[in-house]
Amino acid sequence: MYPTYRYLNGSHINLDLVPFGWAKVREIDPYTHNITCQHGEKECYGNRIHACALYLYQLDKSLKFINCTLSYINPVADDVIEKCTKIARISADKLQECQMTKGNSLLVNNGLKSDFHHKYMPAISFNGHFDESIQSQVWHNFSSVILQHFPPETTTTTSTTPDSSDGNIASVSSVSIILVCILLLSDNVF
């Protein structure tokens, strides 16, 4: 996904990443929520960190940071977060402060955003509509699926997308994508 976003310069798609996964939210009172993530607290911590990056910074910096962290076996390790914040030119201290103060409320909001029926993670909704039939297509050729969801106004160019050889690029940005993310952590990381 990140190479496609970079190729399109973010100008043809509106990405809304939703770090939440299969988390469960239990309201204790209107201001307090207990959040339980499928893979435990480390996954919740990673979701809070990613949610804070998306909350605090422009999408290009947030995506650079998230892409960097997810390229490591343990994406929530302190040294990984430190390294990736430097690469993305964002503040590790601000991320930590946010995840401690606003992180849970961001995850509660993400839970509301991801309240559509999906069987797999990540799940992608196009223009507010989740279609299970395109999920496997997304895994094989993300840029091709993106281009299919643009309106009929397209221009043909000689350039190619990162994972597709067709040169059709939409001339108008109108695809809104909600990507419900799950932070995958292997058991040996804990």
Q: pLDDT (tens digit, 9 = 90+) per residue, 162-185?
A: 444 343 333 333 344 445 444 444
Q: pLDDT (tens digit, 9 = 90+) per residue, 111-147?
A: 777 765 566 666 677 666 777 777 777 777 777 777 7
Beta bridge partners of 170: 154
What is the reported pLDDT for 110?
Answer: 81
Q: pLDDT (tens digit, 9 = 90+) per residue, 19-51?
A: 777 677 777 766 777 778 878 888 889 989 999
The Cα–Cα gap between 22 and 181 comes to 9
Residue 156 has pLDDT above 60, yes or no: no
- Among residues 119, 145, 114, the alpha carbon closest in space to that of 17 is found at 114
Count CA within 13 A, CB hemisphere, residue 18.
25
Domains: count for the chain? 1
Residue 151 has pLDDT above 60, yes or no: no
Centre a 10 Å sphere on the Cβ of residue 41 and count the other Cβ atoms it contains.
12
Q: Is the peptide bond before 122 cis (omega within 30 degrees of 0)?
A: yes
Collect all residues with Cβ–Cβ distance below 8 Å to 153 and sequence separation of at least 6.
170, 171, 172
**59 lies in which domain range?**
2-189
